């Protein structure tokens, strides 16, 4: 039996709905539907996809074989090479035509120069005067406050998440996902970034404590509540104080 029908059958035997499973695992219900229908493209790619399937299977008490997990990868789309159009050969004039044109142009230039030739010691370009051009000067001033702002923007962002109960986390640092999974009670997760840390998903938001640069942050939500896109960055907190999450 394939992975999707196996997960659906095990869930139905336990008389559970897809929404109940999603709430207990702290993952979106759309992921539960995609796994049971084997729509793997709807899940995150790579090892994250296998992690979701293993999490669901372990919770149902199903032991997945390596053969079943090999079918989780997407098939690479077939790439078609564009047709190659050969350019028609360019028509060029015979060589003796080019030679004749060059001789004619040289003759015309010589006649024109002979007619326009200046007399005496005067310059053929007339009275030419040169005027010195002053080079522009620019002064660049740097204020101490601007330097302090630049130094503050280079300070790293340190975030620590402590779980008082089991919770689901999806964390991005500087636009790159660095964590996806369940943080169990008593465990903590640390992340450091240059410009921004984003908690894309926080399941059971009231059961986590967050520290921004070693300073406590107000609670992210109520127990059992799911928060999305909680952002921490230095541009919003130039004084270095503890931020209030978005």
CA distance 181 to 204: 13
Residue 163's Cβ-count burial label (10 Å; 0-12, 13-18, 19+) is buried
Q: Please, what's the b/e burial string for 86-123 (b: 16 or more CB within 10 A of its CB; e: otherwise)?
A: eeeeeeeeeeeeeeeeeeeeeeeeeeeeeeeeeeeeee
Residue 230 predicted with pLDDT over 80? yes
> CA 155, CA 241: separation in Å to the nearest integer?
14
pLDDT at 196: 93
Q: Across residues 63-75, what is the average pLDDT?
A: 69
Entry pTM:
0.39
- Residue tagged 């001033």 (tokens): 141
| Residue 184, pLDDT above cutoff 50 | yes
pLDDT-wise least confident of 17-21, 112-116, 126-130, 154-158? 126-130
Give the chain's radius of gyration (CA, Å).
36
**8 Å CB contact between 165 and 185:** yes
Q: Tell me the average pLDDT across 165-178.
A: 92
Q: Give the least confident one: 5-14, 20-29, 79-88.
A: 79-88
pLDDT at 28: 93
Percent of residues, the chain, with pLDDT higher than 90: 33
């Amino acid at each position: 039996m394939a992975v999707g029908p196996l997960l659906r059958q095990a869930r139905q035997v336990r008389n559970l709905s897809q929404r109940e499973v999603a709430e207990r695992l702290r993952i979106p219900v759309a992921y539960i539907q995609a796994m049971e229908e084997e729509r793997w493209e709807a899940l995150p790619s790579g090892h994250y996809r296998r992690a979701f399937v293993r999490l669901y299977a372990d919770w149902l008490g199903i032991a997945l074989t390596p053969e079943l997990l090999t079918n989780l990868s997407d098939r690479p789309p077939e790439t078609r090479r564009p047709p190659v159009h050969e350019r028609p050969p360019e028509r060029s004039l015979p060589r003796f035509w080019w030679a004749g044109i060059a001789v004619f142009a040289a003759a015309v230039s010589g006649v024109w120069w002979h007619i326009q030739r200046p007399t005496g010691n005067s310059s053929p370009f007339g009275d030419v005067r040169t005027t010195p051009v002053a080079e522009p000067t620019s002064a660049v001033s740097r204020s101490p406050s601007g330097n302090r702002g630049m130094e503050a923007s280079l300070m790293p962002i340190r975030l620590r998440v402590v779980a008082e109960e089991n919770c689901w986390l999806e964390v991005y640092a500087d636009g790159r996902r660095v964590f996806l999974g369940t943080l169990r009670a008593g465990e903590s997760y640390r992340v450091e970034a240059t410009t921004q840390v984003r908690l894309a998903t926080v399941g059971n938001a009231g059961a986590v404590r967050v520290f921004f640069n070693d300073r406590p942050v107000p609670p992210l939500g109520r127990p059992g509540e799911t928060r999305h896109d909680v952002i921490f960055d230095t541009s919003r907190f130039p004084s270095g104080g503890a931020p209030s999450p978005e």
